[in-house]
Amino acid sequence: MPTINENAFRILLETVPDGFFVHDAAGRFLDVNARSCADLGYTRDELLRMSINDISRGADAAANAARWRDAPVGLAMHFQETAVRKDGSAFPVEISLTCQFIDGQKLFFGLARDMSERDAARTAELKEAHERMEMAIRVGGLGIWDYDLVGDRLTCDEQWYRIMGRDPAQPVRDIASFRAFVHPGDVERVTEVRQTATRLVAEERDYEMIFRIVRPDGALRWLRSAGHVVEDADGRPRRAVGFVVDITEAHLAGEKLHQQTQEDPLTGLANRRRLDAELAKACLHATRTGEPVTLAMIDVDHFKLYNDRHGHVAGDEALIALAQILQGIARRPYDLAARYGGEEFVLLLPGIGDPETILQTIEDELAKLAIAHPASPVAPRLTVSCGCVVASELADTKPRDLLAACDGALYRAKEAGRNRSEVARI
């Protein structure tokens, strides 16, 4: 199913070529689109501090109040009105107004058509825009929600329930009930609505969040939610209205792409790009804490001879076997095993000052596999040489310095006959 991004609902409203507005039973504007602002000459913030009576030259305030008070829920009203711009000029409008009852109060959703610009082309444009809005909401997978912050009352449409995997016949009426859907890792930030709403009002920003839910069948879904916080006359958050859309497929595709840019496709170890990033982090952390950093470069001895004798498929299998040994060693959260290139690998071990036992483990585990390498002048089985550097003071040492020191130690291990480790300390 196609999806719509976080600005979709606002974009849809802005495609309507007439002024769109929402007001409460006292006539106070709760929402307006850009066309309303352009027609009247006010900014959106200015209109949201005003009421219908401030921009109308038709019925007086008492008559309007009576009209809104007596309007039955569901009633669609059509009438002529005279609107007044910010500069004092007036123009005729045709109002289409619908009364709805949401969270215990009447709300009026309306369109104001500037009759001074009326023509057949504009009527066709309006019809097309309305059809486009309905189609986008239907096929775009938007689930609409409306939350009364004061009364803790949640109202959602059927699409919202479909996204959540829930039955609309068993309505979710408050945030406490909604908490049960949200993934434990996201529940606190998603359902702390009062502090979030207060912060958004203070920063004059709309609501936007990506979070996970768990459906009743155990399926994990990623959702994007966006909305607008409505203030009362004193500037306090009163309601929030918005939508959710399921972005699971897009999120997983993004994760897969990120993984591909960070992972060696043959061995599954980190690639050079990730190694460079993690090594920079490790050096920065060690500079702050004074902890040592160990970096080891491991090279398969006479690997070209192995490939020439056994073929590249067998060579790939040998590299994968070595990679699994290194991955088993890099078990701590900040350890990293990476493929440096070709038959060279790197181990990053933050906080380790005595790596000799670890290096011996690599040799021992590889010896247990007994991968035959009769073409090697070093041993009848596959072996490795290792150059290792332990840095205890990194104030003036950069990541490239550690790599260069490792390369130098590896060179000395090879010069000394291979199948051995050389450790340097800086």
pLDDT tens digits, 182-237: 998 888 888 887 777 777 777 777 778 889 999 999 999 999 888 888 887 777 88
Residues 119 and 192 in one domain: no
Residue 64 in any domain: the answer is yes
The reply to whether 6 falls in a domain is no
Determine, yes or no, domain membership for 2. no
Give the model's pLDDT for residue 156.
87
E strand map for 85-187: 90-102, 105-114, 143-148, 153-156
**Mean of per-residue pLDDT scores for the chain:** 84
Instruction: Mark whether 268 and 249 lie in a shared domain.
Output: no
Structure confidence by residue, pLDDT tens digits, 111-170? 888 887 554 455 555 455 555 555 545 555 678 888 888 888 988 888 889 899 999 899
Residue 52 clears pLDDT 70, i.e. is over it: yes
Q: Which of 82, 97, 125 is the last residue of a domain?
A: 125
In a domain, 131, yes or no: no
Report d(CA 237, CA 228) in Å as an integer.
10
Do 230 and 314 reside in the same domain of the chain? Answer: no
Task: Tell me which of 345 and 129 has the higher pLDDT.
Answer: 345
Q: Are residues 115 and 167 in the same domain?
A: no
- Residues 270 and 382 both lie in one domain: yes
Query: Would the pLDDT of 50 be above 70?
Result: yes
Number of domains in the chain: 3
Instruction: State the Cα–Cα distance between residues 346 and 323, nearest whole angstrom.
Output: 10
User: Which residues, including other chains, have CB under 8 Å from residue 252's CB and lie 6 or more apart?
Assistant: 222
313 and 394, same domain (yes or no): yes
What CATH number corresponds to the domain at position 364?
3.30.70.270
For residues 270 and 162, membership in a common domain is answered with no
Domain-located, residue 7: no
On whether residue 135 sits in a domain, the answer given is: no
Report how far residue 286's alpha carbon sits from residue 279's, in angstroms, rounded to the nearest whole number.
10
247 and 273 both lie in a single domain? no
Provide the domain limits for residue 303.
263-425
Burial label for 263, CB within 10 Å (0-12, 13-18, 19+), is middle
Distance, in Å, from the CA atom of 210 to the CA atom of 34, rounded to the nearest integer, reads 27
**CATH at residue 66:** 3.30.450.20
Mean pLDDT of the region 406-411:
93
Q: Is the pLDDT assigned to residue 4 strictly greater than 50? A: no
- What is d(CA 406, CA 400) in angstroms, rounded to the nearest whole number? 10
242 and 190 housed in the same domain: yes
Indicate whether 279 and 242 sit together in one domain: no
pLDDT digits (tens, 9 = 90+) for 58-71: 778 888 888 888 88
Q: Which DSSP string do the residues of 37-73 spell out, in sequence order?
A: HHHHT--HHHHTT-BGGGSBSSS-HHHHHHHHHHPPT
Shared domain for 248 and 298, answered yes or no, is no
Q: What is the pLDDT of residue 126?
A: 47
Residue 133 belongs to a domain: no
Starting at the edge strand found earlier in the chain, the sheet holding 293-300 runs 336-341, 344-350, 293-300, 384-391, 421-425
pLDDT, mean of residues 399-413? 91
